[in-house]
Amino acid sequence: MKCLITDHVHPYLLEFFSSRQIRYTYEPNITQEETQNLLKHYELLIVNSKIKVNEALIAAGPNLKVVGRLGSGTDGIDLESLAAKDIEFVRTPEANANAVAEHAVGMLFGLSNKLVQCDADVRKQIWHREKQRGFEIAEKTIGVVGFGNTGSRFAKKMSGLSNKVVCYDKYVGVSDKNSITIDEVSMETLQKEADVISFHVPLTEDTRRYVNKSFFEKCKPGVIIINTARGGILNTQDLVDALQRGNVGGACLDVFENEKPNTFSERERTMYGKLYAFPNVVLSPHVAGWTFESYFKIANVMCEKFDQII
């Protein structure tokens, strides 16, 4: 059995394949076209977000038996085509869930305490304490949209900080997850009550640009938005407009609709320029799940799941 690995992986995964006598080709810089041309020689395929497992790619792998997705996302994966060809699909959403949850908490506290501005000022030997007065998160109501691996971990962390935590999930019950007390509410109630709303949902046709002008208008005035899920669930222009109007009081964003600045259109360049200029916005480059620990955990969980099916 042969495996094509199309992105960077922890050495533990390579050691696993060697111990199972699985031959592998490690090509972390491979392109979509190169993957498609080579796939006929492989039974296993490991991807991250770079390679799109679409109908054309699947058709190019007549011997394909298993596709492994490093991480949690299924956008870019044609699940119907995989199922139609009886190709097993595995992913590792539990492996970096804690990393994402910690990052979301960190961004929120960075925003509330103006840490980005404070850091920049101190480095310039500027000492304006009153200008950098922050606000406390304790006693705020935290809304969590999506209560899977990451959402439940974020909720658990926030519930230990004297916060009321309310959650909405269209598919998953939340009452007994992680043994924490959470109020499961409707989306309408969450929007009315939450001072902070954190999103932990996949990008699907149901969620694409779901967080938009209409969504913000139903929220508590001054709500803080956290998105560490997928950039496509949030309408960036509508967020910029809501920040300008004050409907949204701040935002923490690790993911974006377009994560390739060198491809920005003029409209996007202007829009993102406005977003970057807000002092009440904290940004990071899609690294929430990108810790040293999660790097190993993703490989380890993938090995455990492969062990059950190969």
Give me the active site residues, please.
Answer: 230, 259, 286
Pairwise CA distance, residues 294 & 281, whole Å: 26
Q: How many CB atoms lie within 10 A of CB 299?
A: 22
Q: Kindly list the strands in the beta sheet with 88-91, ordered across the sheet, starting from the edge strand earlier in the chain.
A: 23-26, 2-5, 44-47, 66-69, 88-91
H or E stretch including 5? strand 2-5
Q: What CA dihedral angle connects 179, 180, 186 and 190, to 10 degrees?
A: -160
Residues contacting 155, CB < 8 A, separation 6+? 142, 144, 147, 165, 167, 174, 177, 178, 180, 182
Beta carbons of 5 and 27 less than 8 angstroms apart: yes
Residues contacting 106, CB < 8 A, separation 6+? none
Residues contacting 223, CB < 8 A, separation 6+? 191, 194, 195, 196, 197, 216, 247, 248, 249
279 burial via Cβ count (<10 Å: 0-12, 13-18, 19+): exposed
Q: How many CB atoms lie within 10 A of CB 261?
A: 11
Report the phi/psi class of residue 34: left, alpha or beta, with left for phi > 0 and alpha for psi in -120 to 50: alpha
DSSP per residue over 21-37, as a string? Answer: T-EEEE-TT--HHHHHH
Alpha helices, H only, 39-88: 55-59, 79-84
